Amino acid sequence: MKQAEVIAICNQKGGVGKTTTAVNLGAGLARSGKRVLLVDADPQADMSAALGWRQTDSLEESIVSVLTKVRNDMSFDPAEGILHHSEGMDVLPSNIELSQFELNLVGAMSRENIMKNYLRQVKGGYDYVIIDCMPSLGMLTLNALTAADKVIIPVQAQYLPTKGMAQLVDTIAKVKRQLNPDLKIGGVLMTLVDSRTILAKESMDAVRARCGKDIRVYDAVIPVGVKAAEASGQGESIYSYDAESKPAKAYAYLTREVMRDGEKEKTDRLRDSESR
């Protein structure tokens, strides 16, 4: 059975459109006929709330319950805790208890592999798994990076993020060396772009200069605007809320880029296997 591609949406800085990207990339993939699981790996549960589940602390089953069972080597139903959104995506919600779970990971055996071990049991039923990481480089984020095939880094185009990006790229490189040799950076996504300002242009130029030829910067550029925030307030993706808005068209373009990358990588792997 084909295994899903696991994509972590990651940046240790908050307020860069990370959750909005996870939701709308997932929705875009689902609209394209892909089977998608969205994993909320942030104790703030912003992704869960953005998809309409605002009282996640009252849920009996969540990412906390399933990861706890994996950590304790207990059996469980792979569908446990997974909710279904009306736009065709499955969602593994989070809640504030995830903060305590992260603290409890300190003494756990193979603590960086717990999320990977969980996804190994469920990802056969999906084409894509999208992980919304918390805004830190703590143990939960390390778990997401260990489980992921690639990372998408949303970067706000209203400040110069060179230092923060360098720290994140160093962390990804360390995870690749020590925990997940197949991990790679899918690309940097420019978000909250106000094309009317000089600062936005300077910020994007600085990111492209920083990335150089080593890290891809997506052609999709996510504009600043209220539509995406309004969509989250309604528990919808930007496509359901306003499919003709600029953010919807930008996220649709990103979705196509991600899918093209996946198809190319699949073709390259097949070519490599046939040449051996």
The answer on pLDDT for 1 being more than 50 is no
Cα(71)–Cα(197) distance, integer angstroms: 48
On the CB side of 120, how many CA atoms lie within 13 Å of its CA?
10
How do residues 95-150 score in pLDDT, each as one tens digit?
A: 999 999 999 888 888 899 999 999 999 999 999 999 999 999 899 999 999 999 99
Q: Quickly state the pLDDT bin for 276 (edges 50, 70, 90).
A: low
The CATH classification number of 5-271 equals: 3.40.50.300
Counting every residue, how long is the chain? Answer: 276
Q: Where are any strands of DSSP class E within the chain?
A: 5-9, 36-41, 83-84, 90-92, 128-133, 150-156, 184-193, 217-223
How do residues 36-90 score in pLDDT, each as one tens digit?
A: 999 999 999 999 999 999 888 888 899 999 999 999 999 999 899 999 999 999 9
Query: With the C-alpha atoms ordered 74, 76, 78, 82, is the resulting torsion angle positive or negative?
Result: negative
How do residues 219-268 score in pLDDT, each as one tens digit?
A: 999 998 888 889 988 999 999 999 999 999 999 999 999 999 988 887 87
pLDDT score at 75: 92
pTM for the model stands at 0.93
How do residues 144-179 score in pLDDT, each as one tens digit?
A: 999 999 999 999 876 656 667 788 899 999 999 999
Q: In 3D, which of 40, 43, 39, 22 has the Cα closest to residue 95? A: 43
